[in-house]
């Protein structure tokens, strides 16, 4: 199979632009990145089908021509396009919802929980009990030794 180098370059450009846009914080830009990349990959599928630019339909005489494009690849692209279009619509809805919910822009924030874990002090450790040593503040195992027997005394 001969590969159309021009189309291959277009694939490369589309995918790299897509990846670049994906690194943005804005949801809409990320979506655009995914769409660009998706189109690039779809082009790659066209290339994989061979005979780029030729008709994929085999004539009524049923003969198979060497130069025909592969209809299967094009059918798959059609499916991929439909899927990515549906998902794009969903992401747009999500972007709109992110905008109305936070009432700012559609930027993706850092994960708050992750930041919290990264910044937390000894005091906030998951091991911490209220039974920690009152003087030194050191974590003790006393809390673990209280069982259900103790719980009934709860106010």
Q: Which residues bind another protein (CB under 8 A)?
A: 1, 22, 27, 30, 34, 37-38, 41-42, 44-45, 47-51, 58, 64, 66-73, 76, 79-80, 83-84, 86-87, 90-91, 94, 97-98, 101-102, 108-109, 111, 113-114, 117, 123-131, 142-144, 146-155
At residue 110, φ and ψ (nearest 5 deg) are: -65, 160
Compare residues 53 and 135 and give the one whose CB is closer to another protein: 53
Q: How far is the CB of 52 from another protein (least distance, A)?
A: 9
Give the closest residue to 25 by CA, choosing from 110, 112, 113: 110
Q: How far is the CB of 85 from another protein (least distance, A)?
A: 11
- CB of residue 5 vs another protein: minimum separation in angstroms? 14
Beta bridge partners, 26, equal 107
Supply 141's token pair. 């195992």
Q: Does residue 12 contact residue 27 with C-beta atoms inside 8 Å?
A: no
Expressed in angstroms, the distance from the first to the final Cα of the chain is 80
């Amino acid at each position: 199979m001969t590969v159309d180098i021009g189309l291959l370059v277009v694939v490369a450009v589309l995918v790299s632009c897509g990846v670049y846009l994906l690194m943005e914080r804005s949801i809409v830009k990320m979506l655009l990145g995914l769409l660009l990349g998706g189109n690039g990959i779809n082009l790659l599928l066209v290339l994989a089908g061979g005979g780029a630019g030729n008709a994929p339909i085999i004539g009524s005489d049923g003969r198979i021509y060497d130069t025909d494009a592969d209809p299967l690849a094009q059918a798959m692209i059609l499916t991929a396009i439909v899927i990515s279009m549906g998902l794009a619509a969903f992401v747009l809805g999500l972007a709109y919802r992110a905008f109305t919910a936070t009432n700012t822009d559609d930027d993706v924030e850092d994960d708050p929980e992750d930041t919290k874990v990264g910044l937390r002090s000894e005091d906030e450790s998951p091991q911490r009990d209220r039974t920690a040593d009152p003087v030194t503040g050191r974590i003790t195992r006393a809390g673990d030794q209280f069982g259900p027997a103790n719980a009934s005394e709860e106010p």
